[in-house]
Structure 1
């Protein structure tokens, strides 16, 4: 039997894999404007604090291969072939789609490794992929969001329950889970962007699955711009919770991310931990989804559902 061949385009933000590539990466994020020496030094300092580089690219490749393997192991009608494209480092999304064309595939399905849809982030990936695919005559189906996927929620809830179990029983009522997500410009949120309500629903679904008693929501990793971003900021909010509610255990769950990378390893594991240490309370963070089998199955299921759409 001749199998139907479909390209599986997995997209993520991307990250430099060595210190020499940080300037080019930062310049690309800034739409071609080179960062000042001060800004570049600051970013390099952040990478140094998490070990020199981010593991994001390595984890993205592992996630992509794992999804491809599950998809091909579960059925015999379709042969999925993995392609990876990044928004800010090579291979860029355009490169990946062009490779699909060079390999002679005419069908593709794309998924962004970000659960919630936003017009200022996830849409950029899908728009770029669709633009190049259309130019090359590739029929591409793009997944817009998958934050409700049951096994994605289960994977987070499982990891969260593991972390909570490490806290002494007599201190459980003094523990709070803080669901965080990458902030977006306030103007975008106020213009009807779906991201904020989807993040809030993600937190609610995980909280219900994990049967949480105390949980809150905050925002992290806001850009440095003259205009405001969605808040409350996680660091300021942590101080507020400490002084107003007296929690002694803070469990941070960055639910808009799916892998260990700069925003998690620095913004959470360094900055949030530095603050909790200063306040004399305990910092916790569950494992990220990474290549958790339930998480990979969730993404594979989302891909299968998209391919089956008319």
Structure 2
């Protein structure tokens, strides 16, 4: 008899249409409506990348690729995984998706957040929301907390960086800087709780360094919120100016590996804002493609699931 197990794939979410931007932003702000200036700023950012983010469609494709890979892996005999997608800031919200799992008769599920590194303020918050609702229905959850150390995840980024290096003259590799980055978080929360997030990002950079012929690698942060309090630093734009001033780097390769898809924080914060700084200092801007549904990335998550289930 085949057992059906839920695969709850959770992600940040993004507006599906322009009219979604205000309620989406309001949810991010915990129910506080943005000012017109704040709303205009976010809308202009979306317009700069084509109108809206492609994240919604990518999240669906990633979930489908993951559930297909699990069902085709041969690792789980007499088990069929069924995909459910739950989002943090827009429908289908995590809690609503858990309710749907219950309606479908799901009593056990694996949860995966589409973010490789663990922080209790990111992945931990997704897991908490899913568990609180699942407990109401007696659904057992098995959480994937991170997959940044999975060899296939490191292989993906190493491969992509080496592809970029093929287009940079070898005699300029010493003048090339790899900037590894992730979404910044409030500094006080991270430090006071001894959160593992910053060290996990640094460890990813060290693991990648073992597979690429570059000696200059720096870790930076991006996409910090405007809360009036310090967030993890240095910001990638400030870091670019600083490194260029010290080393005179001719090439900057940006790898926002705290993210897993092409979306606003990459398409605008990297491809626009970081490129502006590169142009300003006279350096070349480079960014490898994001993992999206690449088999190495999907395989890394499958391998991590096999460790917990």
Answer yes or no: same fold by TM over 0.5: yes
Q: Into which bin does the TM-score normalised by the smaller protein fall?
A: over 0.9
Which string of whole-angstrom CA distances, capped at 9 and with x for unpartnered residues, describes residues 130-189 of structure 1? 111111111111111111111011111111111111111221111110001111111122
**Whole-angstrom CA distance in 2 between matches of 1:108 and 1:211:** 41
Which string of whole-angstrom CA distances, capped at 9 and with x for unpartnered residues, describes residues 222-281 of structure 1? 110121111111111100111110001000000110111111011000100111112221
**Whole-angstrom CA distance in 1 between matches of 2:189 and 2:207:** 24
For the residue of structure 2 that corresponds to 1:210, the secondary structure is coil
- Structure 2 matches for 1:1-310, cutoff 5 A? 2-75=1-74, 76-191=77-192, 192-307=194-309
Contact 2:6 2:109 in 1 (8 A): yes
| TM-score normalised per structure 1 | 0.97
The 4+ residue runs of structure 1 with deviation greater than 4 A are none
For the residue of structure 2 that corresponds to 1:209, the secondary structure is coil
Contact 2:112 2:143 in 1 (8 A): yes
- Cα shift at 1:206: 1.4
- Cα shift at 1:17: 1.7
Q: List alignment gaps of at least 5 residues for structure 2.
A: none
Contact 1:177 1:214 in 2 (8 A): yes
Contact 1:203 1:255 in 2 (8 A): no
- Cα shift at 1:121: 1.3
- Cα shift at 1:202: 1.1
For the residue of structure 2 that corresponds to 1:83, the secondary structure is strand
Q: Which range moves more in the overlay, 73-82 or 87-96?
A: 73-82
Contact 2:160 2:289 in 1 (8 A): yes
**Whole-angstrom CA distance in 2 between matches of 1:121 and 1:139:** 21
RMSD: 1.0
Which string of whole-angstrom CA distances, capped at 9 and with x for unpartnered residues, describes residues 177-226 of structure 1? 00011111111221201111111111111121224321111111111012
